[in-house]
Amino acid sequence: MLGKKFWAHAAILGANIIYGLNYSIAKDVMPEFIQPFGFIFCRVFGALLLFWMFAQFAEKEKVSERDLALMAVCGAFGVASNQLMFFYGLNLTSPINAAIILTCNSILVLLISALVIRERITSRKIIGIGVGLTGAVGLILFKEASA
């Protein structure tokens, strides 16, 4: 029987596959079928429905009004506006350029966290960024080879 660790890794792999396909699928439907704002509305509303459905089976927990307000602000800026800006940018560029920019974000987060909060830069983190850069370079080379 497969253990919890296997299912955790399978879930992470599945999420990353969906995340990777996100660029190409979104670019294929924007702007001919749906605009970036409509795309984000569907994503946020769909997530809201899923979380609400799962919450019906979860244990109820008292959350302070201050924390609810903070979660609403985080949801608006951390999810909705972030995704809206990303999809507006993706609408104006190619999936490859968007993937390369997001790979660069990981490098910037690593460097800023090392400078600001003294986060250690470990070999695992460098290898992870190397894998991302390898994928970005592969996308660039594949694009040039297919052009």
pLDDT at 25 over 80: yes
- Binning pLDDT at 50, 70 and 90, where does residue 146 land? low
**Contact (CB, 8 A) for 84 and 37:** yes
pTM score: 0.66
Nearest to 31 by CA among 99, 107, 91: 91
**pLDDT number for residue 7:** 92
Q: Tell me the C-alpha distance between 136 and 100, whole Å.
A: 5
- Binning pLDDT at 50, 70 and 90, where does residue 31 land? confident
